[in-house]
Structure 1
């Protein structure tokens, strides 16, 4: 007979919401099987008679008999005529308490990973907040997205394509979307793109992973901005590359260290339109110098144009790819920042000779991007809705940046110096008080405010302490409330104990 605790375990299994979709006999069978696997019912132990168990559980005897029959068929129990049902003698099965100890040991044991696996694990991945709170950076406002329009376009796509939209898609990306992307980057970013040079991906992070693994071998070097976007550095580290940091000033990455040792690396990673995190724009003479360096040394320029749509002062500069006549620049973009993170669509504009190798390599990662989302986005862009949405959000974000910079000057002037950018979705602030960056971030988190430290973005370790404050996803009232909370939290840290 079951002990009281074992009977309660079976009852809990039957009532658990996650199991209610299963037939009743299957739930009983799974519950008893788990008791056996956990060692709570050891080999040779008798099971309750089907009639008695049925009465205890409030089910029919046939239901329990069906559960016992399945357990017998799977070898978990033995049924003896005239004696009843017993847990089978499974000598190869470790009792639960031994298994628990073994699992605990395995959890604490260093995993036997490859060098690349270790690099990925140690890097900590790139994690985004599921429900962002002020001042999470790089997050657009999704509350203003024209959802009803999107739904209507999606219905149109489904009506016209039918079940074709449910099949595997082209690994290079749906042709209508590739055409729309090419038209957009040519017009708005001064690129040199055609539909057959566009590769649609799930994110710019995937683009960097592809570049790192297809263009360079483990141990080879890549020049990278310092400070730099952490997602890029982690992608390159995980691929076994050696990142060579190159300092950034107010005109972008310094080219002198690259030109002085031109063969030191086979590629350079840039955010030239709006450097992350400083907001600097790469000067034209430096762009041209890097294009010449790449051509002369058969190197690659990886250009990340992550939020160029949101430029608040003057016209944005043309992308490097559009200036490069030698096809040594790989241009990456994403709709995560311009539309919404859940869309999961990014892209690269590739030199012609890389289209096939990159597309084949992409099939080894995830096959293709979801067709419905691609075709809906293509309609959204072709109908002029993308441009209209960008113009609307650009105005909203510019207002929110102005609000945040004013709030920081009014409430946080004793703690930080804001560096107001000319574009993007976040504002860097440099700490000017005795509070450490770590203490500031921890104090902010305690009051429900999210900050990203600046110093960790500097590979050389000599960056000024401070943090990024994202503003795009938050209303002026939300920004004010969060700034006031942050001011109080920092004041508490600074007060003597």
Structure 2
């Protein structure tokens, strides 16, 4: 370990008595080994202080071990086909400290930490050590109950506690769907453009994705109904389509429900940020309109509360509850109990609703400001497409600059841009960018747009 650099110069070594006890050998054995290391110059022994790695830069070639074979950096040849698909797709990466305009990132600076801490202490005081044990793989009953009540009241769902499955994220829910409902080679209809996390979850499972175009009213149903190839499911973000922000029209929702019932296929509804609707009233979720139990409803608290909570959920048809619950035990067993119980109290006490209402107003103001800033400083380059809700705004590139060149230049300036073309599968793509606004103060948004204006103008001159 000294030769390999794992134990650096000056590093203290364990006391001989403690090391002998740990290894189950005589202390004389340890003393003999330390004496040899000292004699060879590897360590220094200081009376009253102990043994330390010697301050020497090179211990000489006679002590070097046979040079190890360098590890192969490209391990893809040893992966399974599914492993190669997961690795090659690049995963879904969230920035730990997001630069300005990262999409899908909520504000966390306004979250009531003191209240959350107090509720967490109540959980530990009342439940005690039982909160430290393994939890129900389906999720704690208290949280499943309040989630069912919430989605029924706020989203018009048809949910009961026994049909709710608590997960760590909506991404885990999509991965479960991909692995439980599909075999490799099966097909799924997806929106085009589509959320990259969903596309990669289905791609990694070996599922063929059939893209269907999206317009101002959401996914275009006629091409899907006329498609001759069969598919096991359709993936939707009907509340705020990602990334366009379009809301799926009611007649299209009803048509998809009847199509799914007739074809015995599934509707996977990702309702990732429906809490934040700024214009008009939000439409009832597809799951609540579906009397045939063909819809899997996915929700998350990553956007409405904070990403570090790691709690999402799915409202399942009764026939899928046991298969999905058993399948999730193979992934991670169960969701942590203490955050679940704390969240249940947060919702039961009315704090969740109050927080969402406050943040909805803040986000609406930030969206309005971002729209104004883009039109003021970037009118020559971008056309904002103002969504009715969500945490990000798409902007269409109206000049002849290259989308990837802008992204690279913006990154060098400390700005995170997501290109719209990367979210498309079909041709005739309108290039542009997805600007997240929720996590940033008015001052940060203004500074970010001014930086972006400098980037665009420098590229234009170049």
Same-fold call, TM cutoff 0.5 = yes
Give the Cα–Cα distance (whole angstroms) in 1 for the partners of residues 207 and 4 of structure 2: 55
Deviation at 1:95, TM superposition (A): 4.3
Q: TM-score, normalised by structure 1?
A: 0.84
Is residue 2:413 matched to residue 1:447?
Answer: yes
Is residue 2:165 matched to residue 1:169?
Answer: no
Deviation at 1:490, TM superposition (A): 1.2
Is residue 2:416 matched to residue 1:458?
Answer: no
> Does the 8 Å contact 1:329/1:350 carry over to 2?
yes
Q: CA separation of 1:493/1:63 partners in 2, compared to 1, >3 Å: closer, same or farther? A: same
> Does the 8 Å contact 1:13/1:27 carry over to 2?
no
What pairs with 1:15-94 in structure 2 (closer than 5 Å)? 15=11, 23=14, 49=36, 52=39, 57-60=44-47
Is residue 2:206 matched to residue 1:219?
Answer: no
What pairs with 1:78-477 in structure 2 (closer than 5 Å)? 95-97=65-67, 99=68, 102-104=69-71, 106-108=72-74, 110-261=76-227, 264-477=230-443
Partner of 1:3: none
Deviation at 1:111, TM superposition (A): 3.1
Give the Cα–Cα distance (whole angstroms) in 2 for the partners of residues 59 and 419 of structure 1: 71
Deviation at 1:59, TM superposition (A): 2.7
Q: CA separation of 1:28/1:431 partners in 2, compared to 1, >3 Å: closer, same or farther? A: farther
Give the Cα–Cα distance (whole angstroms) in 2 for the partners of residues 376 and 253 of structure 1: 37
Deviation at 1:23, TM superposition (A): 3.0
> Does the 8 Å contact 1:204/1:332 carry over to 2?
yes
Give the Cα–Cα distance (whole angstroms) in 2 for the partners of residues 435 and 288 of structure 1: 41
Higher normalized contact order (CA 8 Å, seq sep 6+, divided by chain length): 2
Q: CA separation of 1:249/1:103 partners in 2, compared to 1, >3 Å: closer, same or farther? A: same
> Does the 8 Å contact 1:251/1:280 carry over to 2?
yes
> Does the 8 Å contact 2:43/2:51 carry over to 1?
no
Deviation at 1:57, TM superposition (A): 2.4
State the Cα deviation string for residues 258-284 of structure 1 (Å, max 9, x = none).
211365211000000110000111111
SS in 2 for 1:325: coil
CA RMSD of aligned residues (A): 2.6
Deviation at 1:62, TM superposition (A): 10
> Does the 8 Å contact 1:251/1:282 carry over to 2?
yes
Give the Cα–Cα distance (whole angstroms) in 1 for the partners of residues 421 and 16 of structure 2: 58
Give unmatched runs, 5+ long, in structure 1. Answer: 1-5, 30-45, 68-85, 88-93
Higher-Rg member (1/2)? 1
Give the Cα–Cα distance (whole angstroms) in 2 for the partners of residues 50 and 459 of structure 1: 63
Give the Cα–Cα distance (whole angstroms) in 1 for the partners of residues 209 and 199 of structure 2: 7
Deviation at 1:10, TM superposition (A): 8.3
SS in 2 for 1:317: coil
Partner of 1:480: 446
Figure out how many residues of one structure are paired with residues of the other and give that number.
441
Give the Cα–Cα distance (whole angstroms) in 1 for the partners of residues 270 and 372 of structure 2: 30
